[in-house]
């Protein structure tokens, strides 16, 4: 097995005596994007700041590609979208991106080309000569994402990349991540579980500064049972649950939210349960919105226990 690109061992960090991270330990290997989720105040931003070298941990060992965060050997290998970081309003966006590219080792001409490329990737090429004050919040966010793409680093840490973006741009950012993920490993912190579920195959859960001991695999079945999440148009919930429970191989049907049903079943007994569910719905003329294999990420992370 290859070496992990991120290794954290017993990492703790406190603000004025209050522990924000409590002996966090985990490893991340190069590959598919990894999500970092947790409620507000769980320590996600603190953890990403420690990984980027913006914060020195109070205790523990952090290693990125074998170096301490902030080591000059990591220049060009790691990049990040820090939360709420903004560019200098005095210079144009292009000047600042080109300057960052120069610091990464590009010559001036290449740096301007790279600035144009990353701005093009976030659909903001026309803002090359604009200053920050003329951009909206969402555009400024996309510029900040653009700087994280300079030089196609091996590891990109994104803190809430889609917060404050409209649906079109959220989709653009998702496409950029999927495209760039062929060359870079992404660690994405977000509250948007639906978005994370689309992009990330694995998820780390952080709660009250404590890292969940297991990495959650979004598509993976829980043990021997499988799940389907069914989202319905308005329908008689009790009757639907009763009908679905009668299907062969179904263990349990629950109704976690209005018009949303979670079907737990035995895959060995009912390999084509999805077809049976749809047949059942058609038979009773009930309209459905979505049938998703597995649990929603929200369900998997926060309501499974």
Residue range at the interface with other proteins (CB under 8 A); choices 88-96, 170-178, 241-249, 288-296: 88-96
**Binding residue for other proteins, selected from 25, 31, 66, 90, defined by CB under 8 A:** 90
137 scored as a contact of other proteins (CB under 8 A): no
Of 4, 23, 60, 71, the residue at the interface with other proteins (CB under 8 A) is 71
Residue 161 binds other proteins (CB under 8 A) = no
> Does 163 contact other proteins by CB under 8 A?
no
Q: How many helices (H) and strands (E) does the chain have?
A: 9, 14
Nearer to other proteins, 186 or 228 (CB): 186
Asked if residue 80 binds other proteins (CB under 8 A), the reply is yes
The SS3 assignment for 90 reads coil
Question: Which residues between 94 and 113 bind other proteins (CB under 8 A)?
Answer: 95-96, 99-100, 102-104
- Choose, by CB under 8 A, the member of 24, 55, 187, 263 that binds other proteins: 55
CB of 104 to other proteins, least distance (A): 5
> Which of 87/112 has CB closer to other proteins?
87
Strands of 288-293's sheet, edge to edge? 250-257, 260-265, 226-232, 288-293
Site residue total, other proteins (CB under 8 A): 31
The H or E element containing residue 36 is strand 34-37
User: Please, what is the minimum distance in Å from the beta carbon of residue 219 to other proteins?
Assistant: 32
Could you give the CA distance from residue 111 to residue 96 in angstroms, rounded to a whole number?
10
* Residues 110 and 97: beta-carbon distance below 8 Å: no
Count of C-beta atoms within a 10 Å radius of residue 299: 18
- Rounded distance between C-alpha atoms, residue 102 and residue 25, angstroms: 35
**Residue 76 binds other proteins, judged by CB under 8 A:** yes
Q: Which residues contact 91 (CB under 8 A, 6 or more apart)?
A: 99, 131
Residues 6 or more apart whose CB falls under 8 angstroms from that of 179 comprise none
> Which tokens belong to 224?
């021997």
Contact positions vs other proteins (CB under 8 A): 49, 52-56, 70-72, 75-76, 78-80, 82, 84-88, 90-91, 95-96, 99-100, 102-104, 144, 147
């Amino acid at each position: 097995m290859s070496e992990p690109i991120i290794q954290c061992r017993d990492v703790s960090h406190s603000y004025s005596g209050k522990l924000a991270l409590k002996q966090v330990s985990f490893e991340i290997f190069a590959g598919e994007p990894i999500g970092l989720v947790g409620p507000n105040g769980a320590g996600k931003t603190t953890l990403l700041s420690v990984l980027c070298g913006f914060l020195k941990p109070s205790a523990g060992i952090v290693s990125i590609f074998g170096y301490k965060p902030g080591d000059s050997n990591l220049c060009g290998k790691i990049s990040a979208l820090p939360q709420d970081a903004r560019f200098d309003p005095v210079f144009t966006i292009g000047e600042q991106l080109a300057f960052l590219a120069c610091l990464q080792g590009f010559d001036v001409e290449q740096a301007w080309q790279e600035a144009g490329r990353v701005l093009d990737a976030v659909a903001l090429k026309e803002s090359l000569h604009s200053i920050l004050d003329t951009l909206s919040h969402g555009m400024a966010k996309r510029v900040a994402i653009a700087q994280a793409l300079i030089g196609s680093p091996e590891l990109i840490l994104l803190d809430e990349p889609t917060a404050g973006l409209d649906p079109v741009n959220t989709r653009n950012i998702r496409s950029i991540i999927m495209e760039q993920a062929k060359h870079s490993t992404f660690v994405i912190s977000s509250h948007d579980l639906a978005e994370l579920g689309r992009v990330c195959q694995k998820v780390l859960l952080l709660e009250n500064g404590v890292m969940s001991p297991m990495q959650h695999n979004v598509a993976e079945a829980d043990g021997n049972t499988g799940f389907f999440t069914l989202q319905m148009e308005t329908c008689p919930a009790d009757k639907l649950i009763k009908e679905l429970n009668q299907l062969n191989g179904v263990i349990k049907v629950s109704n976690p939210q209005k018009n949303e049903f979670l079907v737990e079943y035995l895959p060995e007994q009912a390999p084509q349960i999805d077809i049976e569910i749809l047949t059942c719905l058609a038979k009773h003329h009930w309209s459905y919105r979505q049938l998703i294999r597995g649990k929603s990420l929200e369900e998997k992370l926060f309501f499974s226990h």
